[in-house]
Amino acid sequence: MGDYIFKLPDIGEGVVEGEIVSWHVKVGDSVNEDDQIVDIMTDKATVTIPSPTDGIVTELSGEVGDMVAVGSTLVTFSTDGTENNVVEEKLEPEVIPEPVVEEKKVETAVIENKLPPQPKVKPKIKETKIVNTLKENIRILASPAVRRRAREADLDLSLVSGSGPAGRVRHADLDVYIAAGGTVTGAPPTSYSTKRTETNQIKIVGLRRKIAEQMVKSKFSIPHFSYFEEIDVTELEELRQMLNASRNEGQPKLTYLPFIMMALAKIMPSHQECNAHYDDENNIVTQHSAIHLGIATQTDRGLFVPVVKHVEAMDIWQSAAEMQRVSGAARNGTASLDDLSGSTFTITSLGRDGGLGATPIINHPEVSILGIHKAREMPVVKDGKIVVRRIMNVSSSFDHRIVDGANGAALVQALKKMLQHPALIFM
């Protein structure tokens, strides 16, 4: 029967190579047909490749992070078990764990080079030395009455463990100290931590490498300018709560994002320069009439941008449902290539961790991006009076080669008008 050489198959339209993200097998493993053997990442998605046959793995062609061309050797299987023994012993690196052996040698050397016995030191002397060393840098917290009592009793307050806030010494602490015969009853107060020197090296592969490449391409090829604004969403919040309270079973719960999506779809025909792609190699700007909104989504595998397409043809419930579908698919790893491509404008939001402002990086080849921040109640001046209103900050970035400052600001101001008077979204 002999060896079975498995080559990387064509795993997507236009895909010519993929990156090895994770091996599910190692040399010497016995696999069955359709068992998962490797995760390969393309420009758009990660694909799990199954085994094409029953056999024993004799060779893996590549390590995590390596690029493999379509049609090149990926895995070699032995379909004859008698050929595997020699290969397994030759290729299995885990048999001799070198670092462990070196560590044991070091430990042995230390044990053999024993130091002569040291004279015993009384614990009280050691504790006093520690306290005296820290005494100059630590301010003892205590009331004047406690300090006066300590002076009258000839007690050193630095030796007394305080039980009050921030280690404050109280009369009860003096009582305990005196009852214990004047010994330290707890660890000396300290503001120091153990120094940490550990390092952790992580190879950048898979999605994290793709994110890094995309961010470098966007940041270094696009001259960004950013624009910030605050929006009064008090009326929008009232509308959101009312719609959520009256929604039908099966309708998704509304956050702010569907309203923002609907508002962008409403105003974008007047700001087509912001809903565009720029091909900087051929100097061509493509303005889109369709509103395909990328929703930046954080997952446990990194940042994805699933796309809600044709928002201009949706109502508020449809846009919310589709946003939940594509973002959920991105989080659980079931998003298709179509779900992750084709955006014309991107929205990014950190939700409750949104902070006050940011400088979002444009999703190349788009020319605009909008950042949404946490809405919060704040005192504002309205009609000459100080009132409490719900305020949301937004941050935006634009490609200054294509979008002038005035045009970017006009888009955000139009969005602000829609969100502050949400009835306009539906008119």
Backbone angle region of 355, left / alpha / beta, with phi > 0 → left and psi within -120 to 50 → alpha: left
Q: Catalytic pick from 315, 338, 404, 421?
A: 404
Q: Give the residue carrying structure tokens 């946490």.
A: 374
Q: Which helix (H) or strand (E) holds 135?
A: helix 123-135
Q: Spell out the residues 6+ positions from residue 116 whose beta carbon is closer than 8 angstroms to its own.
A: none
Residue 404 known to be catalytic: yes
d(CA 358, CA 228): 9
- Strand ranges inside 34-152, DSSP E: 36-41, 46-50, 55-60, 67-69, 73-78
Per DSSP (E only), the strands in 177-324 are 224-232, 276-279, 284-287, 293-295, 297-299, 302-304, 307-308
Q: Alpha helices, DSSP H only, in 185-301? A: 206-221, 234-246, 256-267
Residue 417 host element (H or E): helix 405-420
Residue pair 71/11 in contact by the 8 Å Cβ criterion:
no
Q: Return the residue matching tokens 């205590």.
A: 142
The answer to whether 349 and 371 are in contact (CB under 8 A) is yes
Helix axes 256-267, 234-246, angle to 10 degrees: 110
Q: What does the block give as tokens for 225?
A: 């300018």
Rounded to the nearest 10°, the torsion over CA 352, 353, 357, 361 is: -110
List the catalytic residue out of 24, 288, 310, 400: 400
Q: Residues with catalytic annotation?
A: 400, 404
